[in-house]
């Protein structure tokens, strides 16, 4: 019998990451949660995963903008579980502003959290994956890894960077039993997207309802938000043995957005 695998999902105290952590626990993996939030709520989430799925769950509140904290998290997780078999780089932040008014600290934070953190977790996870000759890295990119929208220059730059990083690492480890893929969702209704609605309404000078219908879902041919569970199931599939020949792929789950 294969020993129990361990997954680490960055930014898994909310939204898509939380859904992915639950899907991987359901698939029988120990999970290391990461992300910010109210301590009691995070503890309830952690305990529920252990209770419902019979796996070990930990939470490490490392800030993905800080390489030293990422390193401490990875060391702690690998010391306890032997390896991170499935690494999901999901933590992400957004800021919407015209490029000539873009706050420099927001630019730096978006590049650090949405792009550089994946470099740090990946470089620290790979040695143990290579020893085990098995590993799965799933980078939660975005449709904005493939196409652009105005007023999101930092996010689009970081996600395009993450796509390139995914492909490059996939080639490096292709013969080590390790796959590296990106998931490119369209609009999923999570706290990150909810927070963008008033920002976009302000920037564009339109109502919040118009932002939802005429900006967000206008480009998504299905005209509905994607469910967190749909993205989580795709991540769980990419993390499975069955997906061993999928690597370096940009997996769109965007209701047809990038088909146009």
Q: Is 65 in the site for ligand NAD (CB under 6 A)?
A: yes
Q: Is 17 in the site for ligand NAD (CB under 6 A)?
A: yes
Q: Are 17 and 190 in contact (CB under 8 A)?
A: no
20 binds ligand NAD (CB under 6 A): no
Q: How many residues bind ligand NAD (CB under 6 A)?
A: 29
155 tagged catalytic = yes
> Which two tokens mark 224?
């509905």
CB 90 within 8 A of CB 16: yes
Our CB check for ligand NAD shows the closer of 1 and 259 to be: 259
Nearest distance in Å: CB 52, ligand NAD: 19
Residue 138's H or E segment, with its range, is strand 135-140
Which one from 81, 107, 134, 155 is the annotated catalytic residue? 155
Task: List the interface residues with ligand NAD, window 217-246 (CB under 6 A).
Answer: none
Describe the chain by its helix, strand, coil percentages, rounded to 5.
55, 15, 30
Annotate 46-65 with DSSP letters as a single string.
HHHHHHHH-S-EEEE---TT
Site membership for ligand NAD, residue 161 (CB under 6 A): no
Q: Which residue reads 């965007």 in tokens?
A: 254
Considering the complex, what minimum distance in angstroms separates the CB of residue 45 from ligand NAD?
A: 10
Q: Which two tokens stand for residue 42?
A: 């995070």
Q: Which of 93, 116, 125, 178 binds ligand NAD (CB under 6 A)?
A: 93
Give least dist CB 189 to ligand NAD, A: 7
How far, in Å, CA of 194 to CA of 111, rounded? 21
Which tokens belong to 193? 């997207």
Contact positions vs ligand NAD (CB under 6 A) = 11-17, 34-37, 63-65, 90-93, 113-114, 140, 142, 185, 187-188, 190-193
Catalogue the active-site residues: 155
């Amino acid at each position: 019998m294969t020993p129990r695998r361990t997954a680490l999902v960055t930014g898994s105290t909310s939204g898509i990451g939380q859904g992915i952590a639950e899907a991987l626990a359901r698939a029988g993996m120990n999970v290391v949660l990461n992300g910010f939030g109210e301590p009691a709520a995070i503890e309830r989430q952690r305990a529920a995963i252990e209770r419902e799925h019979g796996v070990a769950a930990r939470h490490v509140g490392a800030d993905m903008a800080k390489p030293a904290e990422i390193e401490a998290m990875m060391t702690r997780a690998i010391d306890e579980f032997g390896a991170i078999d499935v690494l999901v780089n999901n933590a992400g932040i957004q800021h919407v502003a015209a490029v000539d008014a873009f706050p420099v600290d927001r630019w730096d934070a978006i590049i650090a959290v949405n792009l550089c953190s994946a470099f740090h977790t990946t470089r620290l996870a790979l040695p143990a994956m290579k020893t085990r000759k098995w590993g799965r890295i799933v980078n939660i990119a975005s449709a904005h890894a493939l196409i652009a929208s105005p007023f999101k220059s930092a996010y689009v730059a970081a996600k395009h960077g993450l796509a390139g990083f995914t492909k490059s690492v996939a080639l490096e480890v292709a013969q080590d039993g390790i796959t590296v893929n990106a998931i490119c969702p369209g609009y999923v209704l999570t706290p990150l997207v909810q927070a963008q609605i008033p920002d976009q309404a302000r920037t564009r000078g339109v109502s919040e309802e118009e932002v939802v219908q005429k900006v967000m879902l206008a480009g998504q041919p299905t005209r509905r938000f994607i469910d967190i569970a749909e993205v989580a199931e795709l991540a769980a599939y990419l993390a499975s043995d069955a997906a061993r020949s999928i690597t370096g792929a940009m997996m769109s789950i965007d209701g047809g957005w990038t088909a146009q």
